[in-house]
Amino acid sequence: MPFCGHQWTPQTLASHVPRGSRGPAGPDLGGLGREPSAPTRGASLLTEQGATKWADVDTSAITHNTNLIKQLVGPKTAVMAVVKANGYGHGAVPAARAALKGGATWLGVSSVPEGIELRKAGIPEPILNLGYTPVAALSAAVAAKLSLTVYDREGLGLVKTAATDIGVHVKLDSGMHRLGAAPDEAVRLAMEVDADPDLRLEGFWTHFADADGDAAFTKEQLRIFLDARAALVRGGATNFLSHTANSPGLLRFPEARLDLVRAGLLIYGVRPERHWDDLPTLRPALTWQTIVTHVMTVPAGASVGYGRRFRAPAPARVATIALGYGDGLHRRASEGGEAIVRGMAVPLAGTISMDQAALDVTNVRDVAPGDVVTVIGQDGEATLTAYDLAEASGTISYEVLCAISARVARRYT
Ligand SMILES: Cc1ncc(COP(=O)(O)O)c(C=O)c1O
């Protein structure tokens, strides 16, 4: 059942930041935020502006990917772009704008401040706080016209105290056991929201625990949800959005798409599993690069970095790069991590430190300070993806992207 939610207007917030402001894009490096694209080699323009590391975000890829999802789910299903955690590291405001351009009509965040950040950037579309709303954040959430998730009596009591128009999405726990009310209680909560003259029951939802893994469990979660939804409809509630599916859910379980899908990872152009081949034209939106800051030859037997974990088996060329765990490059990637320099993927050499790491560039000719180094992205024939870095880091691509820290300047095209 189609539902547009309500539109917010900037007048509802005291401090309005003009449309087009950059949002949380890391350090201000003068013109850096407006530069159209990174050269793949020789970062003179960037280094002149003081940058030694950056993440290029191709917002047209986010628009394109969102559009692919919209085409996939069809006209009856709305797309919520999940832009929490700074848009999975891509920048919440530019990601939100790009996704809206691609056909998303809702935005999902995990906290009230994340929603307010979007409002301050002048984004009027419906925003759902998927997470907890603390008492102290309620009036700000109401002023920003955020839709709020309710999953227990305390939450219901809280939204009732506002005694004003609030869009409420009641969350049911169908097996994730994180946030959510047991099915019967979720139905009761939703009925009470529906009966309240101030509140609007805008949504009824649940979240899958293992949509990219356990199909039987996911189907059971969906069944529990649909049974509860049927009870809610029998109870007289109408005109609310039912939603369950995240990226793996919307790809693997078409029957779970319902009125709205909550797409995160996919809009950024990353598939939930490396080997999945859905949406063949999906485009990764983010390229993460740094530069070589020093090159040296170390003799056979010499070690590189803290803990002396890299030992040169023979004389080796080692290039220091301006990226470390303080930038979000997981220290665990010291073993098995790679980066691309001069079009060749090479191994990291030794332990990643806070601000720096080293590459074994023995087999790459002419590496010199200022050369661009790619940790996620493509250079020449070589490509490294968020999965590659995630595997080396012992984690998932979601975490690799979210971990890219604020001191890595984001540049938008
Ligand atoms: C409640 C909820 N819905 C949707 C998503 C989006 O998930 P995905 O990035 O797999 O699309 C998330 C992300 O963690 C989430 O927490």
In the structure, what pLDDT confidence band is assigned to residue 34 with cuts at 50, 70 and 90? Answer: very low
Cβ pair 245, 259 in contact under 8 A: no
Residue 409 banded pLDDT, cuts 50, 70, 90: very high
Instruction: Assign 163 a pLDDT band (cuts: 50, 70, 90).
Output: confident
Domain check: are 157 and 299 in the same one?
no
More confident residue, 270 or 45: 270
Catalytic site positions: 84, 306
Q: Are residues 128 and 194 in the same domain?
A: yes
**β-bridge mates for residue 360, sequence order:** 318
Above 80 in pLDDT, residue 129?
A: yes
2 pLDDT band, cuts 50/70/90, is very low
Cα distance between residue 31 and residue 52, in whole Å: 15
Residue 10 confidence (pLDDT) above 60: no
- CATH number, position 387: 2.40.37.10
Answer left, alpha or beta for residue 87, where phi above 0 means left and psi between -120 and 50 means alpha.
left
Pocket test for ligand 1, best of 83, 207, 210 (most atoms within 8 A of CB): 207
Residue 104 lies in a domain: yes
- How confident is the model over 195-253, as pLDDT tens digits? 999 999 999 999 999 999 999 999 999 999 999 999 999 999 999 999 999 999 999 99
Residue at a domain's end among 268, 295, 326: 268
Q: What is the CATH number of the domain that holds 253?
A: 3.20.20.10
Domain that holds residue 73: 59-268
Average pLDDT, the chain: 90
Q: Name the pTM for this structure.
A: 0.90
122 and 241, same domain (yes or no):
yes
Q: Where are the beta strands (DSSP E) in 43-104?
A: 53-57, 78-82
Looking at this protein, which amino acid is placed at residue 182?
A
Residue type, 108: G
pLDDT band at 27 (very low <50, low <70, confident <90, very high): very low
User: Do 206 and 346 sit in the same domain of this protein?
Assistant: no
Shared domain for 161 and 261, answered yes or no, is: yes
The tens digit of pLDDT for each residue in 69-85 reads 999 999 999 999 999 99
- Using CA atoms, how far apart are residues 19 and 116, in angstroms rounded to an integer? 14
Q: Tokens at residue 7, please?
A: 């539109």
How many folded domains does the chain comprise?
A: 2
Whether the pLDDT of residue 320 is over 60: the answer is yes
Check: CB of residue 240 under 8 Å from CB of residue 3: yes
Residues 84-126 pLDDT 10s = 999 999 999 999 999 999 999 999 999 999 999 999 999 999 9
Nearest to 404 by CA among 309, 329, 298, 313: 329
DSSP code at position 303: E
Q: Please report the pLDDT score of residue 45 as a whole number.
A: 52
Assess whether 77 and 226 both reside in one domain.
yes
Mean pLDDT of 396-407: 97
Nearest-atom number in ligand 1 for the CA of 110 is 16
Instruction: Quote the tokens at residue 102.
Output: 């691609």
Angle at 261 between CA 259 and CA 263, to 5 degrees: 165
Distance from C-alpha of 181 to C-alpha of 14, rounded to nearest angstrom? 35
Q: Which element (helix H / strand E) includes 45?
A: helix 44-48
CB distance 91 to 410 below 8 Å:
yes
Which helix (H) or strand (E) element contains residue 382?
strand 382-384
Q: Which of 129, 207, 246, 397 to mutate to test the pocket of ligand 1 (most atoms within 8 A of CB)?
A: 246
Which percentage of the chain shows pLDDT scores above 70? 88
79 lines ligand 1 (CB under 6 A): no
Distance CA(55)–CA(376), nearest Å, equals 9
Question: Both 261 and 357 in a single domain?
Answer: no
Residue nearest to ligand 1 atom 14, measured at CA: 264
pLDDT-derived band at 46, boundaries 50, 70, 90: low
pLDDT at 4 over 60: no
Q: Does 251 lie in the same domain as 157?
A: yes
**Atom 13 of ligand 1: nearest residue by CA position:** 264
| 258 and 362 share one domain | no
Is 225 within 8 Å of 207 (Cβ atoms)?
no
Structure tokens at 182: 């047991």
Average pLDDT over residues 359-382: 96
* Residue 111 within any structural domain of the chain: yes
The rounded distance, in Å, linking the Cα atoms of 345 and 364 is 9
Mean per-residue pLDDT, 276-292: 96
β-bridge partners, 374? 289, 340
Distance between Cα 237 and ligand 1 center (Å): 26
**Does an H or E element contain 75, and which?**
none
Question: Which stretches of 124-214 are DSSP H helices?
Answer: 138-143, 153-161, 183-195
What are phi and psi for residue 161, nearest 5 degrees? -60, -25
